[in-house]
Amino acid sequence: MKMVAGGDRRPSELLEALDGLCFYRVEDWWTYELCYKKAVRQFHKEGDALTAEFRLGTYDAEASDLDRVHHDAAAAPADAKFVSQVYAGGEPCDVTGAPRQTEVRFGIDNMPSTL
């Protein structure tokens, strides 16, 4: 994970460096794609062919306060700090029928100048 020097800037200002970028995570059969402030999807490819895909949500600016720092007392290390984005209105869940929704968390280091 790239550390970004913060100084006195707000988290939203630091995260502007991610505009226009997409990030990928491979977990077993699935690949997850996050396109910053755009959308999150889950997919599987066999060679060049896309065999399965789910839209997990599009960026919801109203639900995402990138300058509000959250504390997760249950996380390790204790009282981990983060800012989050919400991606809502994804494809309906097969089990509940509700639209899929994803929360993306950006961790804040204990050093005040990094995000």
Q: What is the CATH number of the domain that holds 26?
A: 2.70.130.10
Residue 68's pLDDT is what? 87
Judge whether 101 lies within some domain: yes
Judge whether 6 lies within some domain: no
Tell me the pLDDT tens digit for each residue of 61-84: 999 888 888 887 777 666 688 899
Measured between alpha carbons, how far is 12 from 1 in angstroms, rounded to an integer? 17
110 versus 98: the higher-pLDDT residue is: 98
Tell me the pLDDT tens digit for each residue of 85-95: 999 999 999 99
Judge whether 25 lies within some domain: yes
Structural domain containing residue 101: 11-108
Instruction: Report pTM.
Output: 0.81
CA distances from 80 to 14, 43, 73, 86, 101 (A): 18, 30, 7, 19, 22
Judge whether 37 lies within some domain: yes
Judge whether 56 lies within some domain: yes
- Residue in 99, 69, 103 with CA at minimum distance from that of residue 86: 103
In total, how many domains does the chain have? 1
Judge whether 3 lies within some domain: no
